[in-house]
């Protein structure tokens, strides 16, 4: 019983598509075979894991693109020059804004504040009365010499 004839694979085309970072499923569709057939053919023809073969070709594609951008930049292409310098030399066209830390806000709440109002303030400022310095502690003196009672 003879099996199916082996698929004729254009390895140059497969390599080009891998260099362009195409997926195995996409490449198989383009060349007209099943992904499993392509994987088997890679391992049979090149005696290596499919993942290693894919990685090598993708690295080649990245290197070719770097070289093309570099050559374009050397040839006077200002866009390629800017792209290269931004990605390889740390250039940036973003304005860096520095902000100084502001001191924490201190809240003074009246002695007769309701628990409902305390909860509303806690939720609004995302703080808890007992964990934040913006609320007077039990032992702290309040204005007019009164003590906090919470």
Could you list the mean pLDDT of each consecutive 10-residue stretch along the chain, which spans 150 residues?
Answer: 79 97 97 96 96 97 95 95 88 77 73 81 72 50 51
Instruction: Say what the pLDDT of residue 104 is.
Output: 72
* pLDDT computed for residue 145 by the predictor: 52
Largest CA distance in the chain: 104
How far is the C-alpha of 43 from the C-alpha of 33, rounded, in Å? 15
Q: What is the pLDDT of residue 57?
A: 98
**Ramachandran quadrant class, 47 (left: phi over 0; alpha: psi -120 to 50; beta: rest):** left
Phi, psi torsion values for 113, nearest 5 degrees: -70, 140
Match 């994987």 to its residue by tokens: 39
Measure the CA–CA gap between 51 and 59, rounded to whole angstroms: 12
pLDDT at residue 34, rounded to an integer: 95
**The pLDDT value given to residue 139:** 45
pLDDT score of 10: 96
Residue 131 has a pLDDT of 55
Per-residue confidence (pLDDT) for residue 100, from 0 to 100:
78
The residue ranges of every structural domain in the chain are 11-88, 103-150
Residue 60, pLDDT score: 97
Structure token pair of residue 5: 């004839």
Give kind and range of the element (H or E) at residue 57.
helix 50-74
Cα separation, 31 vs 27, in Å, equals 6
- What pLDDT, on a 0 to 100 scale, did the predictor assign at position 77? 95
- The reported pTM is 0.57
């Amino acid at each position: 019983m003879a099996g199916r004839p082996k698929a004729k694979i254009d390895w140059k085309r497969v390599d080009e598509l891998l260099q362009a970072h195409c997926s195995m499923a996409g490449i198989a569709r383009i060349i007209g075979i099943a992904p499993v057939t392509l994987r088997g053919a890679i391992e049979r023809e090149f005696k290596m894991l499919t993942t290693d073969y894919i990685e090598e070709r993708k690295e080649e594609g990245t290197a070719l693109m770097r070289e093309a951008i570099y050559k374009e930049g050397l040839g006077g292409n200002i866009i390629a020059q800017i792209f290269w310098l931004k990605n390889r030399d740390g250039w940036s066209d973003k304005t860096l804004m520095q902000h100084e830390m502001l001191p924490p806000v201190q809240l003074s709440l009246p002695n007769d504040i309701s628990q409902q109002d305390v909860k509303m303030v806690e939720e609004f400022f995302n703080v808890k009365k007992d964990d934040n310095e913006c609320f007077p502690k039990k032992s702290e003196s309040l204005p007019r010499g009164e003590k906090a009672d919470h």
